[in-house]
Amino acid sequence: MRRKAVEIINFTKKFGDFTAVEDLNLDIYENEIFGLLGPNGSGKTTTLLTIATVYKPTSGDIYVYGHSVTREDYEVRKLVGIAFQEPKAMWIDKAIDLLTWHARIVGYPREEAKRVVREVMELLGLWEHRNKYFYQLSGGTRKKVELAKVLIQKPRIAILDEPTAQVDVLSKHALWDVIKKLRSEGTTVIIATNDMFEAERVCERIAIIYRGKLRALGTISELKDSVPKGDIIEIQVQEELRDREALRELEVFGRVSVNSDMITIYSDKAEEKVVDVIDALRKRGLQVKRIMVKEPSLDDVFTYLTGAKLRE
């Protein structure tokens, strides 16, 4: 049985009259890359900041390796490192000063701190920016400084709040590799994102949160399968389909639409049905020119579950 790294039990967080998160229940397992997916203002950051003990739950509790965030906050903080959504620095700060201070405060001796800071800054392409003031850095570089804090700390649980927002495409891929490497070194990674491509690319399990409530939880394929008739089988045949009987036969696989030589079938678990579809067409003497199976995107899943788009 997989060990729980984080256990969220009936967690509710209110700010005055506003309920940011309502009755959230969730388990995050050791050494997985877990994604919290939802649009801005859905409660992702509030949940992450409470795991990091920055916020206190209004009701319910969160346990990190069995330690309560309300009663054993210091024990929790020893296990958790966080890269914030907005980089945390003032305009007069220099990246190297911030990271060296961070390394010292998380426990590195002076010389070791210098070494590890340089190593991480070089890994993230920050070394050349080390003596620049924070206001001189681009948004993407600032985000990298934020991520560098976690890489220096090497916590048992790394919380990354929109780690690649404002980062250019090339750097995004590099950062995703860094995140996966962090996990391979034994860290449990929790990522909040509203980037479905990032979620698909990096996360193993995902919780979809919308308006403070958990809407779905599972692996990416489980979530995609949760959309009824969400898979699409697109078939291009040699000639236009005029055979009504053949059409009726295809309808057993799902809803069918025909446009000239293109047949589209909306179905569940399309990958399991595609062979039968081809067989049915061949029996009717139809030559298949091209066939393509498309899954619903996470955006489709989100829309199906909430009626909203991820980027509202």
Partner 1 sequence: MSRLKTILLVATWDLMKLRNQKVFVAMRLAWFTVQVLVFARAISYIVTRTVENYTGGVEYYYFYILGVYTTLLYSTSIARGYMVAEEFDDGIVEYHLSLPVKRSTLAIGRVLGGGVSTLIFTLPMMIIVYTVLRVRDPVIVAISLASALVFSAGVVSLVILLVFTIKSTDLTDIIVGAIDALLVRLSTVFYPLPVIASTGIAPYYVAATLNPISHMSDFLRILVFPEYYLVAPYGPLASILYLVGFSMGLLLLAIEFYEKKLETGGWR
- Residues forming contacts to partner 1 in the complex (CB under 8 A) are 15-16, 49, 52-56, 73-74, 77-78, 80-82, 84, 86, 88-90, 92-94, 97, 101, 104-107, 133
- Closer Cβ to partner 1, 85 or 267, answer by number: 85
Q: How far is the CB of 270 from partner 1 (least distance, A)?
A: 44
- Closer Cβ to partner 1, 93 or 249, answer by number: 93
Q: How far is the CB of 308 from partner 1 (least distance, A)?
A: 24
Instruction: Classify residue 204 as exposed, middle or buried by CB count within 10 Å of its CB (0-12, 13-18, 19+).
Output: middle
What is d(CA 220, CA 106) in angstroms, rounded to the nearest whole number? Answer: 34
Residue with tokens 């903080």: 77
- Closer Cβ to partner 1, 80 or 191, answer by number: 80
- Closer Cβ to partner 1, 52 or 199, answer by number: 52
What is d(CA 12, CA 103) in angstroms, rounded to the nearest whole number? Answer: 33
Q: How far is the CB of 40 from partner 1 (least distance, A)?
A: 16
User: Whats the size of the chain, residue-wise?
Assistant: 312
- Closer Cβ to partner 1, 85 or 306, answer by number: 85
Contact indicator for 175, 206 with CB cutoff of 8 Å: no
- Closer Cβ to partner 1, 70 or 264, answer by number: 70
Q: How far is the CB of 58 from partner 1 (least distance, A)?
A: 11
Contact indicator for 231, 266 with CB cutoff of 8 Å: yes
Q: How far is the CB of 43 from partner 1 (least distance, A)?
A: 13
Tokens for 14, please give them.
């209110």
Q: Which helix (H) or strand (E) holds 177?
A: helix 169-184
Q: How far is the CB of 217 from partner 1 (least distance, A)?
A: 25
Across 174-194, b (16+ Cβ under 10 Å) vs e yields bbbebbeebbeeebbbbbbbb
Q: Which helix (H) or strand (E) holds 293?
A: strand 288-294
